[in-house]
Amino acid sequence: MMTFAKALIENQPTLQWFAGELSGAPVHKSVTNTGQLAGFFQDKVSLAGIDPATVVYRVEWWEPVSPTVEGGLFWGSTIIEPGRVGNEYFMTRGHFHTIRNRAEYYCTVQGNGMLLLMDELRNIKVEIMSPGSLHYIPGGFAHRAVNTGDTALCFWACWPSDAGHDYETVASKGFSARVLSKNGKPVLVPEEAVTEA
């Protein structure tokens, strides 16, 4: 007969919900700085004036199964620092899932922001991120989180293990709108209007 001690699963992670940290299991971590986001922010002059090592966001995530497995789930946090490049708020790169019909949940635990959701026809919609907000990202929508507040924006995400990340489409075509600060308030500005903004 199996003893309880033997039946205990090892490497079960613990999460620090509000700090956005995972521990107790092997987790993946990434840090993205302004130098790596050169093609993403609109104001190149302002970007050139910022130390390229300035951290924009950190991600920690747990992959309990291989990314080749269909039917599994991944779990992770993102912390976006407060800040701007010119009048554009710090944000994630944003991506479509490689397998387009793969959906995702985001839920906010700290801070304030906006979640941009854009379909393949470049139609865009926005959801407000604030502590407790839950966001269902349907398959086929590129998603980008933007920190519009003065403190870190922290959210958790859950996505299918085989979703994959298509960064190329956003890197080459961008989103169809940007979140800019106007008179101290975040405003969604269509890409074609940004230069006049």
59 binds, among ligand F6R, Mn ion, none (CB under 5 to 8 A by kind): ligand F6R
Q: What is the smallest separation between the CB atom of 70 and ligand F6R, expressed in angstroms? A: 16
Report CA-CA distances (Å) from 37 to 44, 90, 96, 180. Answer: 11, 10, 17, 16
Picking from 64, 139, 76, the residue whose alpha carbon sits closest to that of residue 106 is 76
State in angstroms the smallest separation of the CB of 76 from ligand F6R. Answer: 5
From ligand F6R, Mn ion, none, interface partner of 76 (C-beta below 5 to 8 A by class): ligand F6R
Amino acid identity for residue 16 in this structure: Q
Nearer to Mn ion, 74 or 89 (CB): 74
97: tokens are: 């899932």
| x/- track of binding to Mn ion for residues 83-122 (CB under 5 A) | ---------------------x------------------
3-class state of residue 129 by DSSP: strand
What is the rounded CA–CA span in Å between residue 54 and residue 44?
Answer: 15
Q: Which does 189 bind (CB under 5 to 8 A by kind): ligand F6R, Mn ion, none?
A: none
Name the residues that contact ligand F6R, by CB under 6 A: 59, 76, 78, 92-95, 104, 143, 145, 157, 159, 163, 165
CB of 70 closer than 8 Å to CB of 155: no
> For 114, phi and psi rounded to 5 degrees?
-135, 140
Q: Which residues bind Mn ion (CB under 5 A)?
A: 104
